[in-house]
Amino acid sequence: MKRIYITLGVLLLGMIAMAYLYFSNLNTETNANDLSLNAVASNSGIVFSFENDKSFYEILSGQELFQHILGKSKAKSFKSLKENLLSQHEVNTSIDGQKVYVGLLGGEGDQVDYLISAQFKLGNDPQKTVNSLNSQKVKVNKIGEIYQLTFTDSTSCYVGIKDVLVVISNTPKVVQHILKEQNLTDLSFANYIKSNSRFNKNTLANLYINFNKAPNLLKSILNSNLNGELSIFNKQNSFAALSYNFSKENLLFNGNTDVNDLTSYYKLFTTVPEQKIVIDNILPHKTANYTIYTINDYKSWFEALTTWFEKQKNSENVLKNITSINQKYRLDLNQIFPKYFKNQFVTFQLSSGEKFGAIALVNGEKVNQLLLDLSADYAPDIKIFKEANIAYSFFGEPFKKFERPFYTIIDNYMVLANNASSIQVFLSRYRNNELLIQDEDYASFRDQLSSSATISFYINNKNSTDIFGRNLKPPYYKQYQSKTGFKEFDAFCYQLSGDNGKFLSNLLLHTKTEKPLETDSLQTNP
């Protein structure tokens, strides 16, 4: 019996030792495999990843829409890299089946730089691969510790190699910076990508977004600050992991968005289940963009909003304002908006730049009556609040811009704007049925996505021309208007649905609907 115990003990110790060695080696291998991921994730706001195999390039060759997003110059560079570099046998063999990461980051001036990172397979000699590049297709010039590759079509790139890591960029500074990086202090985005990549193994490609780095990327594109509608990209501590769904007609990604900032307004919606969106039925035909929010249980959501005000150090002012209004007008605002709010609200902007907010109500006539003393008549069907920050107190950040707005209530919707003329424009278009839902392209767009969401960001390409003209730097506005640029797209949408603390997400770039040619029904064949 004693021998049995000793034997079992030895076997147990052996198993523990083997397990330790296995997981130690596994951890070492994992750390090595993270080199390319860490390199791109620590520097890029947008990361696109795929496995370097033949099937990926064959499938992607049928997707021309990526070229419209990249622009003529970047598209030419990537095409040249594929044809002149990645197609070379020595290079392709060295990274065949390896994960390739493509990152976009803000560069100097108006430049958006790209960064490609990958790792050589074990057993491959990186220096031998570099030496094999000199050919009729590629001219190699060593500059310090990096290489400049010039192709026959006059495009060029810069390559850096560190152990098994290879990085490629359009600018030498990006490559030099990667090679000099030693201990990365912030691996949160890289760890997020790594944890989410486990669930995306069977997808063709994945898109990862670090909203923390969005300001640095957008400053190269925009000639304005990240305020107004663009404020959603400013100081948003959020990550997104999305899987690419191949389609020749659209660019569609599905996945998750995680809001890491507990003080973010969007955090209030991460546990709110999706609702069927109907408030877009009132939006004018010339709507350039909108953000729709849905709430299934206002009472519990308002408790979260109150906590959010506290985190913003604004709860005392909000409470004092509501109390003062209630005492002054002898009413109870808490018996108006919380009681008669339905389940969604929206902020939107017209092609002219006019900005609006709208709130869906259960009983618009009753709300009109309850707000009589608190409002002043301006024109038929148009009133103005006598006091400030009423909508903000009950719905938060989106209505902060409407401090003491003009408003109208029509068909159980309260519509707000900072100018009476804007309300008049809205009423005219609404009554004449000049609505966005009447647009064929918008109807086609709606068919591509779920009709339900918690938050939905939307941009109408055609109606945003003047707005983008004011906000985009000339090179990017030119790309936006070009037939080989964003003109091919009709709309952009980023849809979020609350799911236990995170968002299930859909990102769609929708192309214009091809209208069939009308034939003359009276025409006869000869």
Which carries the bigger pLDDT value, residue 53 or residue 117? Answer: 117
Amino acid at 194: K
Are 251 and 385 part of one and the same domain?
A: yes
Does residue 321 sit in the same domain as residue 457? yes
Domain end: 218, 251, 278, which one?
218
Residues 327 and 387 in one domain: yes
For the record, the structure tokens of 451 come out as 């009709």
Is the predicted pLDDT of residue 179 greater than 90, yes or no? no
Distance CA 131, CA 17 (A): 43
For helices 315-329 and 298-311, the axis angle rounded to 10 degrees is 120
Same domain, 327 and 459: yes
Is residue 526 assigned to a domain?
no
Please report the pLDDT score of residue 471 as a whole number: 87
CA gap 348, 142 in Å, rounded: 53
Give the global pTM: 0.87
Mean pLDDT value of segment 491-502:
95
pLDDT at 217 over 90: no
Q: What percent of the chain has pLDDT over 90?
A: 53
User: Does residue 406 contact residue 356 with C-beta atoms inside 8 Å?
Assistant: no
Q: Note whether 237 and 184 are same-domain residues.
A: no
Cα separation of 111 and 77, whole Å?
14
pLDDT for the residue 5: 39
Provide the 8-state DSSP code for 64.
-
Helix (H/G/I), strand (E/B), else coil: 331: coil
Contacts of 145 (CB under 8 A, 6+ apart): 160, 176, 179
257 shares its domain with 278: yes
User: Which three-class secondary structure state does DSSP give residue 276?
Assistant: strand
Q: How far is CA 111 from CA 70, 71, 107, 287, 484, in A?
A: 12, 12, 5, 30, 19
Does a structural domain hold residue 12?
A: no
- The pLDDT-based confidence of 8 (bands split at 50, 70, 90) is very low
Are 132 and 233 contained in the same domain? no
Assess contact for 282 and 413: CB atoms under 8 A: yes
Q: Is residue 26 part of a domain?
A: no
> 68 falls in which pLDDT band (50, 70, 90)?
low
Q: Is the pLDDT of residue 269 over 80?
A: yes
Same domain, 501 and 390: yes
Among 198, 218, 238, residue at a domain's last position:
218
Domain extent, residue 494, equals 228-511
Asked whether residue 520 is domain-assigned, the answer is no
Asked whether residue 5 is assigned to any structural domain, the reply reads no
- Kindly state whether residue 7 falls inside one of the protein's structural domains: no
CA-nearest of 473, 463, 492 to 65 is 492
Calculate the alpha carbon distances from 390 to 233, 295, 404 in Å: 26, 19, 8
* Contact indicator for 333, 322 with CB cutoff of 8 Å: yes
Average confidence score pLDDT of the chain: 85
How many domains, in total, are found in the chain? 2
**pLDDT confidence bin for 19, thresholds 50/70/90:** very low
- At 299, list the tokens: 């009472």
The neighbouring-strand residues paired with 158 are 148, 169
Across residues 235-240, what is the average pLDDT?
88
* pLDDT value for 10: 40
Overall average pLDDT of the 385-390 stretch:
97
Give the pLDDT score at 366: 97
Tell whether 25 is covered by a domain.
no
Q: How far apart are CA 359 and CA 480, in angstroms?
A: 32
State residue 132's pLDDT score: 79
Is the model more confident about 226 or about 478? 478
- 291 and 188 in a single domain? The answer is no
Token representation of residue 39:
């390199």
Residue 346 pLDDT exceeds 50:
yes
pLDDT confidence of 17, banded at 50, 70, 90?
very low
Instruction: State mean pLDDT over 257-273.
Output: 95
Same domain, 314 and 429: yes
Answer yes or no: do 213 and 233 share one domain.
no
For residue 43, is pLDDT > 70? yes
Cα dihedral sign for 169, 34, 503, 441?
positive
Pairing of strands 355-361, 341-350: antiparallel
If asked whether residues 43 and 154 sit together in one domain, one would say yes
Average pLDDT, integer, range 128-147? 83
Residue after which a domain boundary falls, among 195, 218, 241: 218
23 within domain boundaries:
no
Is the per-residue pLDDT at 127 higher than 80? no
